[in-house]
Each structure stands twice: as C-alpha cells, then as structure tokens.
A and B are shown apart, each in its own frame.
Chain A
Amino acid sequence: AQSVSQHNHHVILSEAASLELGCNYSYGGTVNLFWYVQYPGQHLQLLLKYFSGDPLVKGIKGFEAEFIKSKFSFNLRKPSVQWSDTAEYFCAVHSGTYKYIFGTGTRLKVLA
C-alpha cells in the first residue's frame, strides 16, 4: 500500500535556524508531491508542489523542496525560519488515483 512517512513529529528551532523536514513515500510510479502548511486554527494551505521538471521547487514564504527520485524523498527546507513559521507541515503524495495520501505531519515550533 502507498504510504508517506514524516520522521520528524516535533521540531523546535530558534529564529534564523535552518529547517529541513523529511518526507519519504512508497510508490514506484509517477507521483505528484506536495507540502501543505496548517497554521494554528487555520486550514491547510499549499506551500509548494512538484509535478515534473526541475526537482528543486520553490514555494511561498521562502520554502523549497527537493525531489530525489532514487530516495523516494521530498524534503522541505528553509534557510532561516521565523517565529511566524510555527505551524504543522504535511507532506502529501498524489499517484494517479483521486486521493492524496498524507504523512502524519510535523509540528514546528519556532522560538523568538
């Protein structure tokens, strides 16, 4: 069965620290990959997505992610986090059916 793993469940960083959140998926075919962010009390918002082409994708608010096909990974990065990045981050995979498969999420807390 298809699955998405996010190994970091809780991350605490100080402002200006660099961020990398891991995402691995299990599916051998063509995939579309997404990172969504959920700020406290708000809905899921799309941060960035990968469909094809350049495996390094840039999203909103300075986030980027790299698709490494050989590692089945799509890790999210940001060089310097801000307090306002405190949120829960979800990786999702779309692989030809209608549904998205989500990871368990990573709660990021940025200390001012």
Chain B
Amino acid sequence: SQQGEEDPQALSIQEGENATMNCSYKTSINNLQWYRQNSGRGLVHLILIRSNEREKHSGRLRVTLDTSKKSSSLLITASRAADTASYFCATDASSGGGADGLTFGKGTHLIIQP
C-alpha cells in the first residue's frame, strides 16, 4: 500500500515560475526522499531529508518536512522546460533499513510551459 501521497496529481506552470508539490504520509519515518522521472525513464534521486531536519536546499530545490503534520513539500524555483517530469516522494519507515522501508507515492506530473 502507498505510504506517500503526492498532491497535486498534475501541475502546469509557466517557465520561470516556482513549482510546489506536496507529499503526505501516514506513519513515522526515518527520512523522506524526492525522485524525478522523465517520461518512460528510470527514477533519479533528487534530495533526501531526515526526520530531524525541517528544511533542505539543493540548487533550485527546496524541501521542507513537517513531521507533526506528516507532510513534505518540494519547491522548484525558477522552473525550466527541462524540469517537466513526474516527481515522486518516497518514505523510509523501516527500523532496520529494509527494502520495504522505501515506499513510493503515485507522483505529481509537472509540466513547464515555455
């Protein structure tokens, strides 16, 4: 069953604008990760935020984590056409780091209009 649920399912914005995607989850986690998937391709790891962190930056990416609300947001600033992709959150809830600790949401499909 899905642990993470992304919102919105689809998002279309103009190039240069900021894109915000949200992820909600149900159980306590060790960390939360965001991945990007270009159409028909494999997933690429973007950023990881641990449960004791509240915000993390990487280039044009900003991730926040609110463990009290069991939610995370991914912000892409100054969007570019190349950012068009699907974005997935994945939560690690395992106590021993098992594979079942990484559970993926259904994804947000982001379209950047030139």
A binds B: no
Instruction: Spell out A's residues near B (CB within 8 Å).
Output: none
